[in-house]
Copies of this chain bind each other. A is one copy, B any other.
Amino acid sequence: MTDLMRAAVLYAAGDVRVQDYPEPALTPGMVLVRVQRAGMCGSDLHYFHDGCCGAFVPTRPFVLGHELSGVVAAVAADVDGLAVGTRVAVNPARACDRCAYCRAGRRNLCRRTVMLGSASTRPPTDGGFAHLVAVRADQCHRLGDLDHAVGAMIEPLAVALHAVRRAGMPVAARVLITGGGPIGLLIAMTARALGAVQVVVSDPSPGRRETALARGVDDVDDPSDPNLPDLGGELPDGGFDVAFEASGAPAALRQLFDLVRPGGTIVQVGTLSTGDVLLPASQVMAREITLLGSFRYGDVFDDAIALVRSGRVDVASLVSRVFPLEDAAQALAAAADPGTAIKVQLQIASDPDA
């Protein structure tokens, strides 16, 4: 008979229930992780508010959560080199390892990826707003002495790090980020840690602009400021070297084409809420602009941990509120409030290192 654990289960839009739920089974190649901290991401909010996340519609109730830090609790017999008790951040994406994309080192493009806490598979895959989660051994990345609040920030930092790496950011770059949410701020911090000499965040919310300044960005902008288009022209080469669109707003993406320099790069990281967007393709040609996308992350979890451990990036300062698992519904509501929240987390285990 299966043991039961507590878990936050999505039943429908607005209906998340913290309840008893079957513990996951331990199958070959896998480990069980006892979750300590779990962060809330935009896709968790989409599932909570809309009952789905874009095209991903769940076919049965499932456990949310994919920003996870915890302790290895059980290890399948065929797993080497990962001991019970190891403190780990979890990569929630399990790629197939065998397709052309996996073989070429672009695992985030693998079409057979199984993602924790997501309805991208049928049936949906249970996530980690729960006491235990089952993952393949190589999804576990050693935290060393980092605490679990930081450990649960490694997944969003991996999103930021992948985006910055995709950008092929030049040395001494001038960087603009549209969107001052957690991903935008993490991109700003990462860009600075990787040598950007000017990092500017643009966001319509005064509160988010204040937060960005307090977290060390060089300057902030209001995208509705009519003088904004002049900004690029004042830079040494006529605009920003690299811009990251992390807001999901089509108007933000459109605006970036006027703000990057000739030969500059725009990286789309945010999930756009609409379909096609009007973009100045003639500028793409005449100014040799590059627009490229960044989706999740490749194999950057160990790098993200190393950046934090070496003190190059301070992610702890972005954790703004923590709720117990039993209050998951309140936590989801709080996470949706852009005014007060940066990153909301659930504290799941009662004993912080159990």
Assess the A294–B290 pair: CB atoms within 8 A.
no
Q: Does A100 contact B (CB under 8 A)?
A: yes
Kindly provide the distance from the CB of A251 to the nearest chain B CB, expressed in whole angstroms. 12
Segment touching B, from A7-15, A67-75, A267-275, A318-326: A267-275
Give A87-112 interface residues, CB cut-off 8 Å to B.
97-98, 100-109, 111
A295–B263 alpha-carbon span in the complex (Å): 10
Give A76-132 interface residues, CB cut-off 8 Å to B.
97-98, 100-109, 111
Assess the A290–B287 pair: CB atoms within 8 A.
no
Name the CB-closest residue of B to A274: B282
Q: How many copies does the complex hold?
A: 4
Give A263-303 interface residues, CB cut-off 8 Å to B.
263, 268-272, 274-295, 298-300, 302-303
Cross-chain contact of A171 among B108, B137, B285, B303 (Cβ < 8 A): B303
Q: Does A195 contact B (CB under 8 A)?
A: yes
A253–B263 alpha-carbon span in the complex (Å): 20
Q: Does A165 contact B (CB under 8 A)?
A: yes
Residues of chain B within 8 A of A285, CB atoms compared = 268-272, 293-295
Assess the B288–A282 pair: CB atoms within 8 A.
no
Kindly provide the distance from the CB of A353 to the nearest chain B CB, expressed in whole angstroms. 23
Assess the A105–B108 pair: CB atoms within 8 A.
no
Segment touching B, from A223-231, A305-313, A328-336, A342-350: A305-313
Residues of chain B within 8 A of A253, CB atoms compared = 281
Assess the B293–A287 pair: CB atoms within 8 A.
yes
Kindly provide the distance from the CB of A192 to the nearest chain B CB, expressed in whole angstroms. 8
Assess the B300–A171 pair: CB atoms within 8 A.
yes
Cross-chain contact of A279 among B271, B281, B295, B307 (Cβ < 8 A): B281
Residues of chain B within 8 A of A194, CB atoms compared = 171, 194-195
Q: Does A198 contact B (CB under 8 A)?
A: yes
Cross-chain contact of A195 among B218, B292, B309, B312 (Cβ < 8 A): B312
Q: Does A146 contact B (CB under 8 A)?
A: no
Assess the A289–B281 pair: CB atoms within 8 A.
no
Annotate A47-84 by CB proximity to B: 1 below 8 A, 0 otherwise: 00000000000000000000000000000000000000
Assess the A307–B172 pair: CB atoms within 8 A.
yes
A292–B307 alpha-carbon span in the complex (Å): 26
Residues of chain B within 8 A of A100, CB atoms compared = 236-237, 299, 302
Assess the B299–A262 pair: CB atoms within 8 A.
no
A299–B286 alpha-carbon span in the complex (Å): 17
- 20 pairs of residues in contact across A and B, judged by CB atoms under 8 Å: A97-B98, A100-B236, A103-B299, A105-B105, A106-B288, A108-B288, A165-B171, A194-B194, A197-B303, A197-B307, A254-B276, A269-B285, A271-B282, A272-B281, A275-B282, A276-B280, A277-B280, A283-B293, A288-B294, A290-B290
